[in-house]
Structure 1
Amino acid sequence: MSQPSGRLPTIRTLAAETAAVPPPPGFAAQANADAAFVGAGRTDPVGFWEREAGRLDWATPWRTAHEWRPTDAAGRTIPQATWFAGGRLNAAVNCIDRHVAAGRGGKAAFHFEGERGDRRTVTYGELEREVARAANALAALGVGQGDRVVLYLPVLVETVVATLAVARLGAVHSLVFGGFSAEALRFRVADTGAKVVVTSDGQFRRGEAVAVKPAVDEAVEGLDHVEHVLVVRRTGDETPDLPWTPGRDVWWHDAVDAASAHHEAEAFDAETPLFIIYTSGTTGRPKGLVHTTGGYLTHVASTFHSVFDAKPDDVYWCTADLAWVTAHSYVLYGPLANGVTSVIYEGAPNTPHPGRHFEIIERYGVTTYYTAPTLIRSFMGWFPDGVPATYDRSSIRLLGSVGEAINPAAWEWFRREVGGGVAPIVDTWWQSETGGAIMAPLPGLSHLKPGSALRALPGLTTRVVDEHGDDVARGEGGYLVIDGTWPGMARTVWGDPERYRDSYWARFADRGYFFSGDGARLDVDGDVWLLGRVDDVINVSGHRLSTIEIESALVAHPQVTEAGVVGVSDERTGEAIAAFVISDGVVGRGDRGSDAAERASALRAHVAAAIGPVAKPRDIHFVPDLPKTRSGKIMRRLLVDLAEGRPLGDTTSLQDSTVPTRIGALIGD
């Protein structure tokens, strides 16, 4: 998060990077991205993206590849970007119909696995027919170009179908995580002015059937712009007493199953809004980021092909919930635009047992597995002796990491235990705001560094700068910015263009840089290492330290599975370091009890040896879990609230809302 005014403080970096890992020769020999691809993106970015746009089917060619009106040097005017202006296309046609027309209708688009073990494989031909039916049903409910539709659903085939049906109509979808509260859902429905909400009667969470429809009724009460609630039957008789409003509420199976399986798709201008996605996990009002069609599809189709080295026979699995931007780009639009077979899984990774993901990898022969460092660290805790050999992971050829910086210990474990010690790992850096990957290794070309996303992808430029916008020296830390524009960039904040300008473009308006809000450092080779959000920097006696580096040092200890580090008030040093650690069953405060105190002392010594004495945590709290969003990000502001005994801030985006209360009971006086 950017600071509203004043100087941006310098970030001090202490940790040293590890040795680079070259790509396996066999992988390099068949990789999609080569030196010519990289060179094209460096010499002529706009021309490069024009060539990449050729991966899509355009009903009408574009007139102008790119136009950009930045904010003025004082940061007063509203920035505006267009990509492929005048070009017309349809997102759903590019993801489905063209593959069917090319004779690939019998290819599997998705292998679906329900939490309770129900399974379904949907081909591209079947997906085309289901999306057509859903589009016809939504049109019959009054949905047309520009209308907003909110989807509040678990990971189901129907969620995919509904999303693509909305896009097919030229309407705007906004997916909301099915674990969010009625309050969080209401904000998004009201902010978008949604005409239709698509939801389910209930959903399965860790083996339990949980009613969902009552929360939706609460969320839409009094919102006159909501004309219909379309309900997927998922839990049925396990969630009885379903509230129902005749005339407004419609069963999915009544509306969709009866609709025609033919729908004539219209082509829309490249700048037609495709979806609104809301940021979460920070303080303040969520921002509804608007992504448009042509540039976004170009960005994700291109980066999926190059970063994930997409092959016709791949079975790809991104584990993100469909409501997160990771899934928009790299479950839905990127893989489907490339005609790839994907896996989607409804449930929790440890339901009914911790090996569920490895069962799924074996069952479907998953070749590419893309997940969050938080889950990797959970696996490390669940399988301290390594993943059992009874789970066959031999199909894996490529791994990916997303959501936050991956610490080197987790990187090494992931490659060894899931990738057989040879599969490359593409550690991707990007944001809801960027739409698609910005920095990542190219797996057949890059020498990988455990914990580093390396450099910007072809057609893109990132910099690490100081408070004035000047490039920092190699070995130094600063602020990660994107120099220039790119096709997948969010065009605005829904209903608040001034906030878009102020959040991302005003800070370095005189340079024209997009301010990511992340800190980073350059190593001696010029590769980038993420240091976390600017707000996740701790000032200890004038030394500004990155939480990511301290967390990485803690997790590198053999008795630590996960760690969350925050800065707390300290009369002597200004701020002190507080660490919340998951460590081999030890719970409680590190200053109480012989086991906890002994473990805390060992961890302080470990951090001092890995980084330096200035980075030793003052407080270490041993906890059974950390407060995380469904996408796996640790909500550090809640840890600050707990450490300082303050009332908790907004918890609506937590995966498990009981975690802060349980931590508070453990560490309280």
Structure 2
Amino acid sequence: GELYDEVCRLANALASLGVAKGDRVAVYMGMVPELPAALLACARLGAPHVVVFGGFSADALADRIDDAGAKVIITCDGAWRGGSVVPLKEMVDDAVSRTPSVEHVLVVRRTGATVPMTAGRDVWYDEIVRDQRADCPAVPCDAEDLLFLLHTSGTTAKPKGIVHTCGGYLVGAATSHSMVFDLHETEDVYWCTADIGWVTGHSYVVYGPLANGATSVLYEGAPQYPDRDRFWEIVERYGVTTLYTAPTSIRTFMKWGDEHLAKHDLSSLRLLGTVGEPINPEAWMWYRDVVGGGRCPVVDTWWQTETGGLMIAPLPGVTTTKPGSATIPLPGIAADVVDEKGESVPLGQGGYLVITRPWPSMLRGIYGDDDRFVETYWRRFSLPDEGRWVYFAGDGAKRDLDGYYWLLGRVDDVMNVSGHRISTLEVESALVDHPSVAEAAVIGRADAQTGQAIAAFVTLRGDREGDAALIDELREHVAAKIGKIARPASIVFTPELPKTRSGKIMRRLLRDISESRKLGDVTTLANESVVHEIAERAKNTPRPEG
């Protein structure tokens, strides 16, 4: 087929540039057909791919290229988003100027933008791919050979390069996709709206659906362009039967109004899915009743970059669903909710979500950092001397009296903003990088639209006064350092941050302030008077969104 031919030609092109088994290839593209082809071409060569979300900045891209030691990067001249061009090649040029491992840049002509091409390094995709043979024997790989790295935010400023391998990952992605989405290969038109830059795109746009022979929709662009009915126009045009999207998007569609759906025939839909963050019951009901016409099962799925595939989700037609609950673990997945001591809590109570037995698509490590791998995921609840290894997901959860799981969000310093995991420390580091900022504290505050919103508290250097112009400047500075998804929704300037007598910032109090809660005990603070001043400032600070 066409995809096979394209994958083989691209694999041969990469081989002609010196890519061999074990070489890492970075991918920084818009949602174009060449993107899944790039992943599959790398897999065919045994060359691990390192996809970086196209919304990330040049700095974030450079960090990930450096961590992986990527030899080649595949990109586009630009990507379309909301009627505008995202300058991907410009970002790549900036990043590659700081990443000596990169030998070649392969550029897809997408927008027709004029971009500089560095002789000897940059190559046009079409010029090198079109004359290659449409056959490329797959390089033999062991089941435990590295398939890809995908970086995810952690509790430190440095993102973690999550390691997934060839055999188990594909077993997990393909099996869970088939089970949870009840795929009928010759009848279904499946649309996962996630960007391939995230793990959802890896597992449920590329690997799982293609392994199962699915017919999929791939969309580059924004849900509101050229109008707010864009998604529903696509569903009607292509007869989409399965829609898998994020709660943030669902809440946005609710806010925009039912009239945008009413313009279109959505009767082809038979199954709806949600991913990326817990969904509130109101949004779940609207999704089922308005989008699905009351006839479509909703599969609310919990999993992570680290798990590689779905872990807790209903099986349509089998599992009785409850609005807002991911229901129960999939067959073969052993989950539990434990207390601080690692002991199971009774039904009806909450605690820490853990996985107690191995599963095929589990992460195999953090690239180049075995100690961090053990510390982050295994040390807290495992008992190695007893041969008991317990995976700590970093999420809080409760089980109701029926044993159904209700996700409560992150318990560490990682925020979940519109389904994107962003480290508080990463944003703090970006803020402190600005010459006007002396110190910064960042928390995720509850937000009805995005699940969490980024709230920043900033102290300034010297006599610098904070104003609306500086708020805008700092937000754009964070966007340049990390990406627009990490821009703080609110910034409060304060002479001091609330700290314990040992110097630890009291983020709990900042979260209380951000969510307008009654402030708790402040007697442990070295500067308790500052809390009320911050609360007053926060009340009077506008919250720019977007």
Coarse TM-score class (shorter-chain normalised): 0.7 to 0.9
Alignment check: 8 A CA contact 1:415 1:422 kept: yes
Aligned to 1:444: 317
In structure 2, what is the equivalent of residue 660 of structure 1?
A: 489
Please, which of 65, 74, 80 is the counterpart of residue 189 of structure 1?
Answer: 65
Counterpart contact for 1:136–1:259, Cα < 8 Å: yes
Distance 1:643 1:437 in 2: 42
What is the aligned partner in structure 2 of residue 641 from structure 1? 457
Match of 2:21 among 145, 158, 162: 145
- The answer as to whether partners of 2:154 and 2:160 remain within 8 angstroms in 1 is no
Q: Is the 8 A contact 1:281 1:653 kept in 2?
A: no
What residue number does 2:393 align with? 516
Q: Which residue of the other structure, out of 393, 405, 430, is the alignment partner of 1:528? A: 405
Given candidates 292, 317, 324, the residue that maps to 1:419 is: 292
Q: Say if 1:232 and 1:666 are closer, same or farther in 2 by CA, change over 3 A.
A: farther
Deviation at 1:266, TM superposition (A): 2.7
Preserved contact between residue 380 and residue 386 of structure 1 (Cα < 8 Å):
no
**Structure 1 residue 417: Cα displacement:** 1.1
1:498 paired to 2:375:
no
Q: Provide the secondary structure at the position in 1 that maps to 2:309.
A: coil
Match of 1:409? Answer: 282
Deviation string, structure 1 residues 567-598 (Cα, Å, up to 9, x no partner): xxxxxxxxxx996657xxxxxxxxxxxxxxxx
Matches within 5 A, 1:160-199: 160-199=36-75
Aligned counterpart for 1:267 among listed residues 116, 140, 143: 140
2:503 equivalent in structure 1: none
1:481–1:656 distance in 2 versus 1, CA, 3 Å: closer
The answer on whether the counterparts of 1:367 and 1:395 sit within 8 Å (CA) in structure 2 is yes
Deviations for 1:541-570, whole angstroms, at most 9, x for unmatched residues? Answer: xxxxxx99xx9xxxxxxxxxxxxxx9xxxx
Alpha-carbon offset, residue 260 of structure 1: 1.0
Q: What is the one-letter code of the residue matched to 1:370?
A: Y
Displacement of 1:656 in angstroms is: 4.9
Kindly state the Cα deviation for residue 203 of structure 1 after the two structures are TM-superposed: 1.4
Name the SS of the counterpart of 1:406 in structure 2. coil
Provide the residue aligned with 1:226 in structure 2.
102
2:526 corresponding residue in structure 1: none
Q: Distance in 2 between matches of 1:251 and 1:504?
A: 41
Of the three residues 127, 132, 144, the one matched with 1:254 is: 127
CA distance in 1, matches of 2:164, 2:225: 34
- Using the TM superposition, name which of 372-381 and 655-664 deviates more: 655-664
Deviation (angstroms), 1:535: 3.3
**Unpaired stretches in structure 1, ≥5 consecutive residues:** 1-124, 538-546, 552-565, 567-576, 583-625
Which residue number in structure 2 is paired with residue 475 of structure 1?
Answer: 348
| Structure 1 Cα separation of the partners of residues 73 and 30 of structure 2 | 14
Q: Kindly indicate whether structure 1 or structure 2 has the higher relative contact order, using CA contacts under 8 Å at least 6 residues apart.
A: 1
Q: 2:428 corresponds to which residue?
A: none
Runs of 5+ unmatched residues, structure 2: 418-423, 425-442, 461-465, 494-537
Give the letter aligned to residue 372 of structure 1.
Answer: A
Deviation string, structure 1 residues 77-99 (Cα, Å, up to 9, x no partner) = xxxxxxxxxxxxxxxxxxxxxxx
Of 307, 315, 325, 1:434 maps to 307
Q: Partners of 1:667 and 1:145 in 2: how far apart?
A: 57
Range with bigger deviation, 302-311 or 642-651 = 642-651
- Within 5 Å, which residues of 2 pair with 1:11-410? 125-236=1-112, 239-240=113-114, 242-280=115-153, 283-312=156-185, 313-383=187-257, 385=258, 387-410=260-283
Cα shift at 1:659? 6.1
**Helix, strand or coil for the counterpart of 2:218?**
strand
Supply the distance in 2 between the matched residues of 1:505 and 1:658 (Cα, whole angstroms): 31
CA RMSD in angstroms comes to: 2.7
Aligned partners of 2:488 and 2:340: how far apart in 1? 37
Helix, strand or coil at the partner of 1:269: coil
Whole-Å separation in 2 of the counterparts to 1:187 and 1:578: 24
| 8 Å contact kept, 2:456–2:488 | no
Partner of 1:37: none
For 2:117 and 2:42, locate their aligned partners in 1 and report how far apart those are by CA, in whole Å. 24
Instruction: Give 1:593-604 correspondences, 5 Å limit.
Output: none
Q: Distance in 2 between matches of 1:300 and 1:530?
A: 22
Instruction: Give the alignment's TM-score, normalised by structure 1.
Output: 0.65
Contact 1:190–1:223 (8 Å) recurs in 2: yes
The one-character-per-residue Cα deviations of 1:190-211 (angstroms, maximum 9, x if unpaired) are 1100010001111112101232
1:523 Cα deviation after fit: 0.3
